[in-house]
Amino acid sequence: MITTDAAVHPYPAGDSSLRRMASEAHELGFDSIVAIDGQNTEMYGVRVIRGVLISENQLKNVIGQVRRRSGKGDLVIVNAGETAFNRSVIAVKEVGILRHIHKAPKNSFDHVAARLASERGVAIDLDLHPVIHMKGPSRQRVLQKYRDIIRLHTRYRFPLTVSSNAYSVLDMRSPDEMKSICRVFGMSGQDVDDALSAISRLFNPGSAVKVVR
């Protein structure tokens, strides 16, 4: 199984260099990482996939960003928004991952979007940063959103990815730690293993991978 942290943010967005994050990923037991605005390379035996993170709320702007910013070997990731936006973005062929559903309006990722994600092979990312760092009602709302995603995943079997969303090596977590955190919102060990290896299964090493935010 090839394990991947689906989003880390090296310097200058974060406070750790790409080389330092790749070294940490190696020590933690990852085979690859998606580095937002990084570069496609290999360091310390860890494959680094450049993630193109796009933050837009209109489909035409997402498509424009994809055309301008993404290239061969990149992974395009999009942050979720309103219901109609999510359905439309999932249908864009370049999009590889939809994430931050926990920040989107309630029920914005519904059965229709789940079925589309399954048909198109678009992964839904589970960002563990808020699960670790939030407290009280805010954390509970995130956990409930993730439980809803897991229920839809059980029915429609769209791909899942798991990310630390780390801006520092201090926020990176090992695959085993990620597995323990995911159990909090009802994810099985096998589903976590599948999510950690999803990027290697979804994208051929030489193909374009795209992430839209």
Q: Is residue 205 pLDDT above 60, yes or no?
A: no
Q: Give the pLDDT of residue 207.
A: 42
Per-residue pLDDT of 61-111, as tens digits, reads 999 999 999 888 899 999 999 999 999 999 999 999 999 999 999 999 999
The CA-based angle 127-8-140, given to 5 degrees, is: 20
Q: Is residue 9 pLDDT above 90, yes or no?
A: yes
pLDDT band at 123 (very low <50, low <70, confident <90, very high): very high
Q: Which residues of 35-48 are buried (b: 16+ CB within 10 A; e: fewer)?
A: bbebebeebeebbb
**CA-based Rg of the chain, rounded to a whole angstrom?**
16
- pTM > 0.75: yes
Q: Provide the residue ranges of all domains of the chain, joining segments of one domain with +.
A: 4-202
Annotation: CATH topology of 4-202: TIM Barrel (3.20.20)
Identity at 145, one-letter amino acid code:
K
pLDDT band at 203 (very low <50, low <70, confident <90, very high): low
Q: Is residue 150 pLDDT above 60, yes or no?
A: yes
For range 137-155, the mean pLDDT: 97
Q: Give the pLDDT of residue 210.
A: 45
Pairing type for strands 46-54 and 41-43 reads antiparallel
pLDDT band at 213 (very low <50, low <70, confident <90, very high): very low
- The Cα 106–Cα 59 span in angstroms is 20
